[in-house]
Amino acid sequence: MDISKLKKRPSYPFETIAVAFAFSPRLENLLYEAKHYADTFKSNLLLIHAGEKDLKKEETFDTLFNQIGFNKVKTKVIWMNGDPTETILDLCKLNIVDLLILGALEKENLYKYYVGSIARNISRRAKCSVLLLTSPSVAPKKIKKVVINGTDNAKTVHTINTSIYFAKAEKIKELTIVQEIDMPTFTMTIAESSTNSEANKIKKDMLEEESQKLHHLIDKCDCPDISINIKTVNGKPGYAISNYAKTKNYDLLVINSPDSQLGFFDRIFTHDTEYILADLPCNLLIVHSRV
């Protein structure tokens, strides 16, 4: 396995898309979504089943494969028995996958296969971008409203550019980028050694500085035909944007991939990505910038 091919590989275009499937009630829905995204991005498609292969499963899958009308030249099917998480991650690396699509549930504990904890483990460890679909359908719903996490991080410019690439392919004309401000913590930090008037000025200046950083970041992005809105929301990072996406009925939330080295407190306490993965507000695209 030549992992060096993944290093510094751009997060887009999605030249190869992989879809991990199980024989659940939503198999047909997920396969229709797979075809939709392969067609949309003109990608090679890898269909992965990490589990035992038997005659009944093979007949069910072949019937759906022919019914849906996959491009047989650009589609590869892999059956491999083994631990689902490790098998899927290894196959994605081996096949230089750019986007992995998984079915996911808004809440855990209902299914055990490719949803819930397995989807969360894969999302944390994948070396490619991951798209979690909360409600896959035989008639894939057009994504219209997209919100992006505009956190101050070196990965964010790649996440925004990948979102723009996604939007162009899906013919989306408007994107929203959200800045999360944990106001209570923010206020307490500057109030400890300041008067009220000084604290208010510091807060205003810091908020303006954060806004300017995001505007400068957007200026670096290639988005001549897409309108970008900027919003500021108050709350804990991860939780705030998740709640915003849910209350505003967004179709897709886009975030950076988790940092590979989590700190001591990140491993003990819930942090931004974990808030989102624990209770998906809508479809979720985790962009792995491979920087």
Q: What is the tens place of the pLDDT at every residue in 110-124?
A: 444 344 567 778 888
Strand 16-20, strand 44-49: pairing: parallel
Cα–Cα dist 186/164, whole Å: 31
Q: Do 171 and 117 belong together in one domain?
A: no
CA torsion sign for 20, 26, 32, 37 is: negative
Q: Are 92 and 130 in contact (CB under 8 A)?
A: no
Task: Tell which of 87, 102, 133 closes a domain.
Answer: 133
Alpha-carbon torsion angle 209, 213, 216, 217, nearest 10: -170
Q: Do 175 and 102 belong together in one domain?
A: no
Q: Do 83 and 156 belong together in one domain?
A: no
| Tens digits of residue pLDDT in 50-80 | 988 999 999 999 999 999 999 999 999 999 9
Average pLDDT, integer, range 94-110: 76
Residue 96 lies in a domain: yes
| Tens digits of residue pLDDT in 18-58 | 999 988 888 999 999 999 999 999 999 999 999 889 999 99
Cα–Cα dist 122/160, whole Å: 22
Task: Tell which of 102, 133, 164 closes a domain.
Answer: 133
CATH number at residue 111: 3.40.50.620
Q: Are 251 and 146 in contact (CB under 8 A)?
A: yes
Cα–Cα dist 289/8, whole Å: 8
pLDDT at site 2: 56
Tokens of 258: 């988790």
User: pTM for the complete prediction?
Assistant: 0.88
Q: Do 162 and 254 belong together in one domain?
A: yes
Alpha-carbon torsion angle 79, 10, 148, 270, nearest 10: 60
Q: Do 156 and 278 belong together in one domain?
A: yes
Domain range for residue 186? Answer: 146-287
